[in-house]
Amino acid sequence: MKNLVEKRLARIFIIFLLLCLAIGGLEALLKPAPVFFKSINLMNILLQTSINTIIAVGMTFIIITAGIDLAVGSTLALCNVLMGLVMPAVGLQHPFFQISLAVIAALAVGGFIGFLNGGISVAWRIPPFIVTLGMLGIARGLALWLSDSQTVNLIGRVDSAFSFIGNGRLLGVPMPAVFALLVVAVGHFLLNQTRFGRYAIAIGGNREAARMSGIRVGYYTTLAYVFAGLLVGLAAVVQTSRLGSANPTIGAGYELYAIAAAIIGGTSLMGGEGAIGGTLIGALIIGVLNNGLTLMNIADEIKQIIIGLVIIIAVMADRRRRTQ
């Protein structure tokens, strides 16, 4: 099993490298001054990919349990709005308390929504697709209601230390990318070295067999959603810091990119299989595609079509591999 995962990761990484070479080569042919392989653009790709990577790690755990979460974008928006309301209310007089309370609020709300998604799905035996689809509307509606459908500007209203989370650099690497890599490392450890990860894989592989083996299926399934919700809260912290504002419409379509990153990275929609390293590569593939198409002045609508096609191809490849 380990060898199969490693071989799959190697194939995905080769595809990633070939994609980079193809985009870089195409840009060199079309533009007199190509910038794709310049360090500033590569760092920009890492920055643009970071939020999706953080969310996609949590999504990987959910999909491994044979679940899905369509509410991650709306949940991020709700966490974003709550931070935008909490921090100005506390004021600049207490910077540590201001930042700490906002971060705790984002993580708590993200985790709680994850708990509701997983708990309701397990307790009432409702497909997670339906539960999270409903939560998508609830979270987005709450975000719009709490903010009065207005963007809250936080520049000058929060301590400058908060801005470092989303705009600072560590050894030249953007802080959002640093957070994303830390999340990848933690996710890899949890999936491969802990009971939580092993049980998540067992549940996705065969739920009834896992139950008969004494695994608390409901508990660990819900835990996967809570973990994913916490990561959405963390992504909201990074995003809020980076943008310096709270926008109730932010996060639209984030669930698409998170699911795509996991699937492209080799996580099976049928559950029971996945690798966090693959999810990272999947997120980078999406980031490279977006960046490369932007450099070549491809319209956003066309980019969405291409990403959608990539998702379909990845699912078809997974289905073919499982039937062989």
Model pTM greater than 0.75? yes
| Range 294-300 average pLDDT | 85
Render pLDDT for 84-105 as a digit per residue (tens, 0 to 9): 999 998 888 888 899 999 999 9
Is residue 193 over pLDDT 90? yes
Strand 169-170 and strand 152-153: pairing?
Answer: unpaired
Q: What whole-number distance in Å separates Cα of residue 132 and Cα of residue 209? A: 26
Q: What is the pLDDT of residue 324?
A: 63
Host H or E run for residue 305? helix 300-323
Question: Percent of the chain having pLDDT more than 90?
Answer: 74
Render pLDDT for 147-171 as a digit per residue (tens, 0 to 9): 999 999 998 888 889 999 999 999 8
Q: What is the DSSP letter of 121?
A: H
Domains of the chain: 42-323 (1.10.3470)
Q: What is the DSSP letter of 31?
A: -
pLDDT band, residue 313 (cuts 50/70/90): confident
Under 8 Å between Cβ of 57 and 279: yes
Is residue 21 over pLDDT 90? yes
**Three-class secondary structure of residue 208 per DSSP:** helix
| Residue of 54, 265, 277 whose CA lies nearest to 180 | 54
| Cα four-point dihedral sign 166, 170, 172, 178 | negative
Q: What is the DSSP letter of 252?
A: T
Measure the CA dihedral 193/194/200/206, to 10°.
80
Q: What is the pLDDT of residue 317?
A: 78
Bridge partners (DSSP) listed for residue 170: 173
| Cα four-point dihedral sign 172, 173, 176, 178 | negative
| Cα four-point dihedral sign 233, 235, 240, 241 | positive
Is residue 5 over pLDDT 90? no
pLDDT band, residue 322 (cuts 50/70/90): low
| Range 214-230 average pLDDT | 98
Is residue 2 over pLDDT 70? no
Task: Among 16-20, 93-97, 171-175, 201-205, name the one with the lowest average pLDDT.
Answer: 93-97
Is residue 1 over pLDDT 60? no
Question: Percent of the chain having pLDDT more than 70?
Answer: 98
Tokens 């070549």 belong to residue = 296
Q: What φ, ψ does residue 169 adopt, rounded to 5°?
A: -135, 145
| Range 223-250 average pLDDT | 97
More reliable by pLDDT, 232 or 290: 232
Torsion-angle region of 215 (φ positive above 0: left; ψ -120 to 50: alpha; else: beta): beta
Q: What is the pLDDT of residue 299?
A: 85
Q: Please report the DSSP string for 40-85 in residue order.
A: HHHHHHHHHHHHHHHHHHHHHHHHHTT---S-HHHHHHHHHHHHHH
| Residue of 147, 176, 118 whose CA lies nearest to 250 | 147
